[in-house]
Amino acid sequence: MRKVLAYVDDSPDDLFLFRAACKLAEVRLNLVMIEGGAEAIRYLDRTDQYADRTQFPEPDIVLLDLKMPGVDGFAVLRHLRSDPARAECPVGLLTSSNWPGDIEQAREIGATWYFLKPPDMARLIEFVTVLDECLHDATACPKVETRLSEFSS
């Protein structure tokens, strides 16, 4: 049974490249790409077509972009954490912001990780590879206090 990874980003490029990187890295993940925060809320709430759990499986891990128009990453995170069933669900923020205020806020709301977006494809592939290992082997998992530079330049 493949783990389900949901990646929420407002940038179609980032979504596309993430999927390409996963493909190149040959990760054993079932990918759910969600464009934008509002859509993510609808997915999580099982609104309309998202009620179909076979087509839209419950994610085992969620990656959230932070800066999104309308509903941003924090809002989605807050929404996730407001559901007791998803309280323990690993949620990583994947953002190009290393603004300390953002990192602090993410920690407060209950993000599991805070990742900086890898600036190039090679490092993105490396990132998804580690992430894949992590999901299948807890010991390889980066800790909550992950160093920001771990997956970035």
> Interacting stretch for another protein, rule CB under 8 A, among 15-23, 34-42, 50-58, 127-135?
15-23
CB neighbourhood size of 69 (10 A): 9
Strands (E), the chain: 3-9, 29-35, 61-64, 91-95, 113-116
Q: Let me know: does 127 contact 118? Beta carbons within 8 Å.
A: yes
Question: Please, which residue, 60 or 126, has the CB nearer to another protein?
Answer: 126
In the range 34-63, which residues lie near another protein by CB under 8 A? none
Residues 92-151 that bind another protein (CB under 8 A): 95-97, 99, 102, 117, 119-122, 124, 147, 149
- Of 11, 30, 105, 129, the residue at the interface with another protein (CB under 8 A) is 11
33 scored as a contact of another protein (CB under 8 A): no
Integer angstrom CA distances of residue 63 from 48, 58, 127, 145 = 22, 13, 12, 16
- The H helix count followed by the E strand count for the chain is 5, 5
For another protein, the binding residues (CB under 8 A) are: 11, 13-14, 16-17, 20-21, 24, 67, 95-97, 99, 102, 117, 119-122, 124, 147, 149, 153
